[in-house]
Amino acid sequence: MKKHPLFDVLDAMYRQAQVQYGGAIKGKWLHDGDGCPGCGKDITEMKWKKKKAISLNAFFYRDHAVMIGYLLCGKCGHHIHSEAQKNPHTKLQIHDEIEKNLKAAFVKHLGH
């Protein structure tokens, strides 16, 4: 079975996180739960610079030393990327919601 190209991108993101965080990062996990962690809607493509794109992202969950990869719906992805163009490196309210939902999903995953 051929590996999906998203896993290659996630692997590259993980290697970069290891360079950035060193021994503080111990693993990676791809959230594959139901819906967008920002709003709960279905994961969809987004339009970016007149092309179709998907929003693959990750954050470092320090409490568990894991990089969590996740996909966003087109609306949330476009919102975050548009705001980043206006105000780079600014944390948005939606980031807090995404992190809260992903942390809960990861902890639930550990219980399985």
Question: In terms of pLDDT, which residue wins out, 40 or 46?
Answer: 40
Question: 1 falls in which pLDDT band (50, 70, 90)?
Answer: low
Q: How far apart are CA 77 and CA 47, in angstroms?
A: 9
- What residue spans define the domains of the chain? 5-110
User: pTM for the complete prediction?
Assistant: 0.87
Residue 95: per-residue pLDDT: 95
Q: Residue 47: pLDDT band by 50, 70, 90 thresholds? A: confident
The Cα–Cα gap between 9 and 50 comes to 22
- Residue 90 burial by Cβ neighbours in a 10 Å radius (0-12, 13-18, 19+): exposed
